[in-house]
Chains A and B, each alone.
Chain A
Amino acid sequence: MGDASLPFTITEAAAALRAGEVTSVGLTEACFTAADRFDETLGVFIKRYDSTALAAAAAADAELAAGTDKGVLHGIPLGIKDIIACAESETTANSVVYDPGWYAGQDAPVIARLRAAGAIITGKVTTMEYAIGLPDETKPYPVPRNPWDPATWPGGSSSGSGAGVSAGLFMAALGTDTGGSIRIPAAFCGITGMKQTYGLVPKAGCLPLGVTLDHIGPMTRSVADAAAMLAILAGFDPADPSMPPGVAGADYPTMLGGDLSGVRIGIDRANHLGKEGADPMLEARLDESVAALAEAGATVVDTTLPLFDELTQACMITMAVEAFAFHRSWMAERWGDYGLGMRSWVGTGALYTAADYAQAQKVRRIGAAKLAEVFSSVDLMAMPTCAAGSPSYDGLDMGAIVGLIYTPYWNPVGCPVLSLPMGLGATGMPLSLSIAGPAFADGLVLQAGDAFQRLTSHHRATPPLLAEVGA
C-alpha cells in the first residue's frame, strides 16, 4: 500500500473495489509487498497471515462480484495488535511470559465483528510488552520503528499498528489505549487514532493492562475511516462486564459532513503549552488547527481542563495496580523473563496500598463530575496530543517522555478522544491534535475531526521513507 496508484484510505478503497478498479486480493498483496519491503526496518509484524488473508481476500472479491456487499470494510486489509485474540495464532503480548492456551483458536469479539464485516486480517503486530514499557532488544521480538524516521520510536504501546498504517503495511489497524496507547503512536506516526467512550467497544479477548482503563479502538489514515470502523466495532457484548447493558454504537459515517456551526469547542492551552522540551512549532500548529475548526463553523473559546495533573496521576496509579494484580503470580516466578521496561512500570503497582487505589478511584469520580461541568459550557475540547513529535531511540527515557504526553488524563474519565495529524514540528516529525467530548458523544467527536480533515491535508502526508523507495 505504499503504491501511490492505490487507494489511500478505506473509504477510497471501498469505492474503488465497487468500481472494479482494484480487488481485495490486489490490495492485500500490495500490503504484503510493502511489508516485504519495509518490515525489516520497521519491526511491525510479529506474525503474518499471508495464506489465510489472501484466501479471505479472494472470497471477498467473489462475494462482491456476486453482489454480496458487507459494507465499507469488505475486502479491506487490517493489522491487529498482538494483545487481541485472533483464531490464526496465539496471542503473545510481545512477551515470553504468556499463556499459549488463552483464547486459543478463538477470535475476540472485535475480530469476529471485523470478519463478519468482510475485513481481511493480515496478521498480528508489535506492541510494548503487555501494552506498557519500552522495546527490549534482549527479547525475541522486533523493535518497532517510526516510518517518519526509523531512528525514532513510533510511540506505544500500539507501535506496530501505528507504524504499519503509516507505512501502508495495512490500510488500518486495531490498537488499544489504557493511557494513550492508540493516540500516542497515531500522533508520532502521523495517522488518526480513536479512543472511543469506555464501554462502547467490547474488550473481551484482549489481554488487560488496566481493566478499568483499557479500550480497543481504530487506527486509520482518516477520521472517516475511523468512523467506519467504530460503527462495526461498537455495541454490547455480554462477554465484557464493563459494558453498560444494551449499549449501542451508531452509524457514525452518516454523522460526518464538515459543518460545525453551533458547535462550541474549548481549547486548553494552560495545561498543554509551555512545557520544557515542547516542540517550538507546537503553539503555531495548534493555532492553525483552531483556525481550521473555526473555519468549519465552530465557536472556539479558551477553556482549562480541571484536575489535569490529578487525573493523570489517577490513571498511572490505577494502571500500575491493576496491571500488577494481573501479573503478580507470573512476576513472583519469572520476574527476569519480563522486559526491563515492562517490569519497571508494572512493579510499581506493588508499592501502592489498597487505600491509594481507592483514592485514585475517588479522584476519577470527582474529576468526571468536574469535567461534566466543563461540557455543559462547551461541546468538545481540543488540545495537542503530545508536546513534541517522536523521540529518538538514542537515549530514550520513559520518564522524560511521560512529561510530554497529555493522553492519560482522558482514560480515568472514559471520554471519547480522537487524535489526528496537525502538521509537522520543528524536527520534521508529525504533531497531533486531540479532540475530546463527553461520554458517548463519539459521533460529535468524529464529526469535528472529519470537518478538520476536510479543510486540511496533514492526514494525507506520507513518511519520507515511502518516497525514498519510490513507493
Chain B
Amino acid sequence: MDAETTVRTLFTLAGVTPPEDEMAAFIEGYPATRASLDLLYAVPDTPLTDGILVFRPAD
C-alpha cells in the first residue's frame, strides 16, 4: 500500500479528517514516520521482551 492510501486509510479508521493541505503534509512525512519505526524494530530482542506492557489485576 502506498503512503497516500495508507495515511488516508489510517485517518479514516481513526475517525479524523484533516483538511487536504494538512493531509498532504502527513502523507509527505509518512516515509520518515515509518523509518523511525524501522529503527525500533531493528533493536535486537532480549529476554526482556516478556512483560513489556505491565498489567496488575490488583491495581
Contact = CB atoms under 8 A, between A and B. Distances in A.
A99 interface: no
Contacts of A262: none
B1 interface: no
Contact of B36 (A241, A317, A366): A317
Interface string A420-431: 000000000000
A314 B41 CA distance: 11
A358 B52 contact: yes
Contact of A366 (B14, B18, B46): B46
Contact of B59 (A241, A328, A359, A366): A241
A236 to B, nearest CB: 14
Given A328-B16, A361-B52, A366-B48, A351 B39 contact: no
A278 interface: no
Contacts of B16: 328, 331-332, 335, 347, 350
Nearest to A357: B53
A365 B43 contact: no
Interface residues of B, number: 30
Interface string B33-52: 10011011101001011011
Interface in A256-304: none
A347 to B, nearest CB: 6
Contacts of B33: 348, 351-352
Contact of B40 (A241, A310, A351): A310
A59 interface: no
A363 B7 contact: no
A37 interface: no
A343 interface: yes
Contacts of A336: 19
A310 B46 contact: no
B11 to A, nearest CB: 6
A362 B36 contact: no
A347 B30 CA distance: 12
Given A343-B22, A344-B22, A350-B10, A365 B15 contact: no
A470 B39 CA distance: 52
A344 B16 CA distance: 12
A361 B41 CA distance: 11
Contacts of B18: 335, 343, 347
Given A317-B36, A348-B26, A361-B52, 5 more contacts: A314-B40, A328-B15, A332-B14, A350-B11, A350-B16
Contact of B43 (A241, A307, A317, A335): A307
Contacts of A351: 6-7, 10-11, 26, 30, 33
B40 A363 contact: yes
B49 A362 contact: yes
Interface in B16-30: 16-19, 22, 25-26, 29-30
Contacts of B30: 351
A335 B11 CA distance: 12
> Of residues A307, A356, A364, A366, which shows the largest number of chain B Cβ atoms within 10 Å of its Cβ?
A366
B40 to A, nearest CB: 5
A369 B52 contact: no
B49 A316 contact: no
> Of residues A340, A358, A365, which shows the largest number of chain B Cβ atoms within 10 Å of its Cβ?
A365
A310 B40 CA distance: 6
Interface in A418-442: none
B10 A316 contact: no
Contacts of B26: 347-348, 351
Contacts of A310: 39-40, 43
Contacts of A11: none
A383 interface: no
Contacts of B7: 351
A456 interface: no
A313 interface: yes
Interface string A333-353: 001100010011001101110
B14 A350 contact: yes
A361 B33 CA distance: 17
A347 B36 CA distance: 16
A369 B48 contact: yes
> Of residues A360, A362, A364, A365, which shows the largest number of chain B Cβ atoms within 10 Å of its Cβ?
A362
Given A344-B25, A351-B26, A356 B37 contact: yes
- Give the top 3 A-B pairs by smallest Cβ distance, nearest first: A350-B14, A332-B15, A362-B52
A170 B19 CA distance: 41
B30 to A, nearest CB: 6
